[in-house]
Amino acid sequence: MSKRDMGLIFVMVGIAFLMVSFVATTSTVLWGISLGVSIVSNIAGTALIMQFLNTPKAKEIL
């Protein structure tokens, strides 16, 4: 699995947890955990995608 695919998976997981944090209005602990996981997943996914774009192979594709 390439860094691009892993990055996209992390970003999608982050977006899913962000949606869960919007829905969960009853428990502040659940809201905080889902928001934290969302932030970490989105940052990790973005970093992986940036690493993929830095490779010479990706520069040939673009």
pLDDT in tens, 12-36: 999 999 998 888 777 788 888 888 9
3-state secondary structure string, the chain? Answer: CCHHHHHHHHHHHHHHHHHHHHHCCCCHHHHHHHHHHHHHHHHHHHHHHHHHHHCHHHHHHC
- In this structure, are residues 45 and 7 in contact, taking their beta carbons and an 8 Å threshold? yes
The token duo for 56 is 């010479």
Please state the domain extents for the chain: 3-55
Instruction: Identify the weakest region by mean pLDDT among 1-5, 42-46, 48-52, 55-59.
Output: 55-59
**pTM for the predicted model, two decimal places:** 0.82
